Each structure stands twice: as C-alpha cells, then as structure tokens.
Amino acid sequence: MSDTPILIRHSERPTVTFPGGADYCPVIGDDNGAGVAVRTGIQTSPPGYETRPHSHPYVELLTVLEGEGEAWVEGEAEIIRLEPGVTIALPANRVHSFRTLGNKPLVTYGIHTAHKRIVNYANPPAAGG
C-alpha cells in the first residue's frame, strides 16, 4: 500500500447478491485493495438467511452491526449468539456458518485477514446445480 490514504465510499462500491438473497458490499475487495493486507465487507442477510458451511485459510473477524443471528463453528458444542456489539474471531480452516434470526436483517462487517478473499465450501453444489 502506498503512503496515501484510500478513501472508500460504501455507496460507490458494487453489491454482490449471494444465493439465498444476502447482499455483500466488498468495502476493500480484490478489485480495489491492491497492496492492502486485508479484505473487508458488509453483508446484509435477510430474515431466514443462512450461509452455506464454509471455511477460509485465514482468520475471519465478523462484527454484528444490526439484527440478530447465531453462528455454528465446527468442533464447538455451543451455538454462538450474534447481536449488535458482538465480534467473533473465526479460526483459519474451521468450517462455520451463520443464520439470521427474527424478522429483521442481520448486518455484519467482516474482515478477512488476507490479501485475497477465499471461501472454501464444505459441501460444494452438485455439477450443474
């Protein structure tokens, strides 16, 4: 990264819609993050949304900004309650998933501690689907 600060206006960033209806705004993404050692984004997950079980080859930090949900992490007996003011640090290579609870969207700010966002799905979809 150069010595010049990078100003990012969220309203000017693209929105990616995930299967199931969640919207993801890559704040510092692979397209604008050259030289920056992290990737960040804001995900808005509608009521009833659940991520597919997945992992990352690096630590992911997930902070809840709005709404409520719960997270599951492989090997952990307890479900983690997600609510505003909570941050979860997900270990590298641990399969995890989260879902929205209630009738309001779950809004999270994620930090991927790598220079490229990598998602490894635990159960990839069948060919052609």
* Per-domain boundaries in the chain: 22-115
Which three-class secondary structure state does DSSP give residue 122? coil
| pTM for the model | 0.90
Residue 55 CA to residue 93 CA, distance in Å, equals: 5
In degrees, rounded to 5, the angle at the alpha carbon of residue 88 between the alpha carbons of residues 117 and 82 is 115
pLDDT at 126: 54
* Sheet of strand 87-90: strand arrangement: 16-17, 23-28, 39-45, 106-112, 60-66, 87-90
Q: What are the tens digits of pLDDT across the range 78-101? A: 999 999 999 999 999 999 999 999
pLDDT at 4: 83
CATH number at 22-115 = 2.60.120.10
pLDDT at 89: 97
Positions in the chain short of pLDDT 70: 1-2, 124-129
